[in-house]
Structure 1
Amino acid sequence: MTYLYAIFRHLFVYAALFILVVYFVEAQRPLLRDWFLPLPWIGYVALGVSAVIALQFGRSRLFWCCVMLAILLLIGHEKIDLSSEFSRRLPLIVLMILSYLSCVKDSGFSGHNVAVTLVKLFVVTVLSWAALTYLPALVQNHLSPMYTFANQIAPGLNAIYTPLEWLLVGLALVTCLLRFIFVTDNNHAALLLGALLVAIMPAYSGFELHSVLTLVLATSFVYAMLKDSFNMAFKDELTGVPSRRALMQYVNTLGRKYVVVMADIDHFKKFNDTYGHDVGDEVLKLVASRLNKIGGGGKAFRFGGEEFIMIFPRKTPQQALPFVEQIRQLIADYPIALREKPRPKKAPKRGTGKPNQGKTVKITASFGIAKRSSEFNQFSDIMKQADIALYTAKKAGRNCVQLAKQPE
């Protein structure tokens, strides 16, 4: 459910941006021409800023997208004298390059990686040009029904792309969409938006309209890089819950009344040594997923190792206690199935292999609760009190919740 929510959340943001851009380009063309015609450099500046940020954040794919879009914008300028055939094919070639970039990983900016990337982009360009040159004669008879169908829907469709070109556009967009679904983040959402806007560029011949689309793309690239970099800085990569840095930022927003809960997985080191770090990582993910469901307005953070912290704004320890108990019980009741042996590299022949049966174990966690008071008004002091209560819970047999001994 969380995965589907992430997909729809990203799609909603970028789809809304795409619809808004198409609306303005269609309905407000005179206004956009008045704005952008006197500023022919604005698209290049936006792409330049986006490219510099991509260099700083190591987003090589978005950097090369900016380069491709700058070339596309330059060719689209009315002062550039190039053959119409090349100008017609260029958006399709850029679209093929975008779909290729969406399927690879960021490769950095070392000399070797830049040279390899340039060679790969050149190969994609040559293959795209060859496909646009030689495929039409081979598949013309098969695509004639598609030409008729497009003409029945809207005669202008065939003026934008040929049936083969529509097929390639659809293939590129589906590739970007599938890649986004499998790797859902802002970078792939921005690449998908880039593919969509490049695909509709041939429908708008005006250079100033291309500048509008380019400006939107550059802005979306910057947003994607900053958003993902923010997530990397403020979210724990393993568990997905907010990190220690996010905790310290969140503390600054709290008022004079809140509760701090320290949580620690019982016997985690022994569990890790017995079953391995991979299983230990799964345990951390499990505990984090349970803590992330805390009610009562609580918010969970990974503090470090097997320790987590929960904050309850505007709550007393007695008010937070039932919610902490509920989470403690959820963790203790969840069975973890373990394999006794690693999965074999090759599947055994039918009838000869023995089932790789595993055993089920359970984990528990201990909790310590402390509140902000006049005596302990600094977060570090409150956290120490919660840690003392957590130590008391460990001495009491673990798998329990203890309140710090603080004056009312």
Structure 2
Amino acid sequence: MKNKLKNELINSPTHDTLSLEGIAKLYKFMQREKQLKDICNLELIKVRPNDGRNYIYVNRKQFIGSDRVDLINKLYDHFYGTSLEGLYEDWLRWRRDCTHVSNKTIKENIFLWNAYFKNKPVFKIPIKDLKATDFIKFFRAMLKAESMTRKRFNDAKSVLNGLFYYAIEIGTVNYNPIKEINFRQFQFKPVNKKKEVFTLAERQLLLDYLEPINDIFSLSAQFDFYLICRSAELRALRWTDIEGNIIKIQTQLLDDQTMNDDLTFNPRTYENVTHIKGNTDYGYRYMPLTDGAKQALKRIKDVNPDGEFILMRDGEQLTTITFNRHLKAYCESVGIEPRTSHKIRFTVASLLYKNGVPATTLQRLLGHSTLAMTLHYLRDITPEEDTFNAMKAVLG
């Protein structure tokens, strides 16, 4: 094979001017072939009889080249020259096809990659040459350029960890250098957890503003402030789920956007699924209907008398995107910071906890698999004036 390659290179039509280049190519090929023998058995290379292409399976992955030289070069690039940037698109397709990761998560991965890692020099370096110090320098520069919360940073870092796990699985590298980093050396933007929920005053301000507005979006927001379910569960509630003074949480309206091979996404689709996220030990959850919730339901029935689902407009279920768009407008109208429907869930949980509902009961109402997750939801919604008065009464 090597003599054949040598003859092809030397006897090429341009050998008078490229003979030295041909010799260099031959030497490069031989060196690459020698290095690859330490990783895979090149004797397993086969030739397709129909088109003459060379192929080999390494770690259950097929590599194909137009000829042996092309195949060797592809194998070398895979094992020795592949960068994180070079693996990125294959990793996304692998996550779509070979894991249970949702398309929503993959879309978030793409956003984080484009926001923090795309076209950065360190991600063009061959993976085998990357060291922990390369990432320490990158992370330090990234955090200096933009203040980030620890959660945001960890979300971004998870993309890089995912790429390394993929590289390990396909045999490109043997370990993840990011795991060697002590992240306590970095400083992160503090989180103002009070801004993550509506205060008692803001909740009441919104309810007072929405009360005279008699459309489905206003009424759905009012109804949401009296429940503690997920946004996807709220949109999937049926009138038949109401059983006297309780409502049964048993369905979710899930949206999905499947990813194409070119990393574009198909139009969003929606599906009602009988599957409850989180703790299913109790079966489907039941939630008490307060007087406020019942009043909201009565008004919703007036504007949606014939719908199968409680929250419908023009025969279609409300979506989370549409709901949040209207909620943002309502917040801006009363002069408070816009928040999403998910933050209403935080708010109601915190309000119930403040008024004596045990955390274990909240865990069941929220549908959480762990108490730790429930505690993560709880925020201090006590007005500062009340805190001051309490301290004054106790401490003098």
Normalised by the length of structure 1, the TM-score is: 0.22
Which has the bigger relative contact order, CA under 8 A and spacing at least 6? Answer: 1
The structure with more helix, counted as a fraction of residues: 1
Normalised by the length of structure 2, the TM-score is: 0.22
